[in-house]
Amino acid sequence: MRKPSRTSLRPASAKPAAPSPVRTERADAGAAVTEKKRSSLFVGSTEKAFQVLHAFDGPLRFMTLADIARASGLDRSAAQRLVHTLETLGYIRRVPDTRNYALTSKVLQFSYSYIRANELIDKASPYLLDISRRLGETTNLHELDGPEVVFVARFPGQHMNNIDIVVGSRLPTFFTSSGTAMLSQLSEEEQREILARTNLSPRTPFTVTDPEALLARVKQAGERGYAMIVNETVMGDISISAPITDEHGRPVAGINISVPTSRWTPERAEAELAQEIQVAATSISKPKLTRVSS
C-alpha cells in the first residue's frame, strides 16, 4: 500500500487544538463500554496507555505533554508516566529541540500484522487492483467499525482525488457509500443503533445529516444492491460501493470505486460503475448457506 507521509510542526506559540469530534466521540463510546463491561480482569493502566496513543488521532501530529493529557482525559502526572513508558518502549518519541512528542513508526507494526493476517484483504486485492488498472481510478476496501468505516486496502488510480486518505483512515459510516452499502445489509434496529452513535457534523456543504434521509438512503441501497455518494465526505468525489457479505448475508466489508467529478458525472458513474462494483463484491462474498428442508 502507498502510505504518504504527512508531517507538520505546530509553532510553540500556537494554541493547542481541542480534541476532534470523532476522537472525543470514540473516547466517550469507549468509556461507556468500559464502564458497562468492566470486571476484575480489566486492566485500567492498559486502557490509559491506549488513551495516550489515541490522543494523536486528531489533527495534531506533534503534541506537548499538556496537549496529550488534555486530549486523553488524563491528569498530567498519569500522562507523564505513560508517555515516558511508551517512549521507553519505542512507540512515542521526543521531537528534538522541542517540548513536543510524536508517534513512531513502531505503531505501524500493529497495522502490518492485521493486514497480513486478514484473509479478506488477500481475496479482495486482486479485484481492487484489476479495476484500478483497467479504469485508472481509485478503489478501496472498507471494514465497518460501528459509526465509522476503516480503509483497510487502497489502490490509488491515476486521478486520485484525495491523498490525505490512506490505509487506516476513518470516515463516518453514514456519510460514505461503502458504509451505506454495508448498513443496508443490517436490520433497521442495528442501523438506528449505529446512527445514534454517529457524529452528524457535516464534512462538506453537501453532506446529508438528516437522520431519516440517511436511513432512507440505506434502504434504497439495499433495494439497488449498491450505494452512491457525491461530494459528501470529500469535495469533487463520486463514490460507488457494494457490500461484501459472509455466508449468513452479514456485511463484512464494502468495496468502492472513487472517481473525480472533474472527469465523471454521477449519471455516467452510476451507469458504468455500479454493475462493475456489484460483480466484484459478489465474487468476493461467500455464498449464502441454504437450509435443507427435512
Q: DSSP string covering 43-92, please?
A: -HHHHHHHHHHHGGGSS-SSB-HHHHHHHHT--HHHHHHHHHHHHHHTSE
Q: Using the structure block, give the residue that is written with the C-alpha cell 465526505.
A: 233
- The 10s digit of each residue's pLDDT in 9-34 is 343 333 444 444 444 445 454 554 44
Q: What is the pLDDT of residue 37?
A: 61
Q: What is the pLDDT of residue 160?
A: 64
Distances in whole angstroms, Cα of residue 230 to Cα of each of 78, 178, 213, 236? 44, 12, 15, 8
Yes or no: say if 124 and 151 are a contact pair by the CB < 8 Å rule.
no
Residue 1, classed as helix, strand or coil, is coil
Q: What is the pLDDT of residue 33?
A: 47
Residues of the chain under the 50 pLDDT cut: 1-25, 27, 29, 32-34
